Amino acid sequence: DIQLTQSPSSLSASVGDRVTLTCRASQNIATYLNWYQQKPGKAPNLLIHAASRLRSGVPSRFSGSGSGTDFTLTISSLQPEDFASYYCQQSYDSPTFGPGTEVDIK
Amino acid sequence: QLQLQESGPGLVKPSETLSLTCSVSGDSIRSSPFYWGWVRQSPGKGLEWIGNVFWSGTTFYNPSLEGRVSISVDTSKNQFSLRMTSVAAADTAVYYCVRHEGQWMVEVDYWGQGVLVTVSS
């Protein structure tokens, strides 16, 4: 199966910061990569699919890029409601998720 | 607005069978091109795809769980169900039902609220 790694595993940031999260796949997955946000006690929420397509209703401060094995999720200006965990998921083959990145308040 | 609601026992004994149902409201489970699936989340293993079903009955399963898992659909009740046999403590998790496009979860647009299932004697 395709393994996903995420870095960093956690980070502390301030409101207004630009934040970049990374997801790496163990093999080429083209752009079959999704990003989710999850808050405590809630189900994950899709932010970006196909590596860079913003889901309808998701703020434009979120953006995704990458193809092949290396992908990034960028939050251009961190807002209070963005403190959460973020997961990547590949949809190239039998789906797998990354271990997540926790973004907390500095 | 589509809603997904999981239901089933919150406690299952080791070696027994876990059974969960997801009730779909706000749209027909026959809607194309959507698949209906199950994802679980545990502290030890993170998020894990279990499998999915199309309204016609076609299923796809996580290879690591295949043999213990079956997913079925009941279009008359607008529901789909998960059955997992021979459960162990490692199967303790929050189980979510989801709707998505593509057999490999290309775009998951709806999640249920999740149900905690604990495997313990």
At a CB cut-off of 8 Å and minimum separation 6, what does B108 contact?
Answer: A34, A36, A44, A46, A89, B98, B99, B100
Those residues whose C-beta lies under 8 Å from the C-beta of residue A53, and which sit 6 or more positions away, are: A64
Judged by average pLDDT, the poorest of A26-35, A72-81, B39-48 is: B39-48
- Spell out which residues of chain A touch residue B103, defining contact as CB-CB under 8 Å: none
What's the pLDDT at B32? 81
Pairing of strands A4-7, A19-25: antiparallel
CA angle B31, A53, A43 (to 5 degrees): 65
Q: Mean pLDDT lowest for which of A20-24, A32-36, B62-66?
A: B62-66
Q: pLDDT band for A19, please (50, 70, 90 cuts).
A: very high
| A16 against B44, higher pLDDT | A16
CA distance B14 to B24: 29
User: B-contacting residues of A 44-103, CB under 8 Å?
Assistant: 44-46, 49-50, 55, 87, 89, 91-100
Residue A41 has pLDDT above 90, yes or no: yes
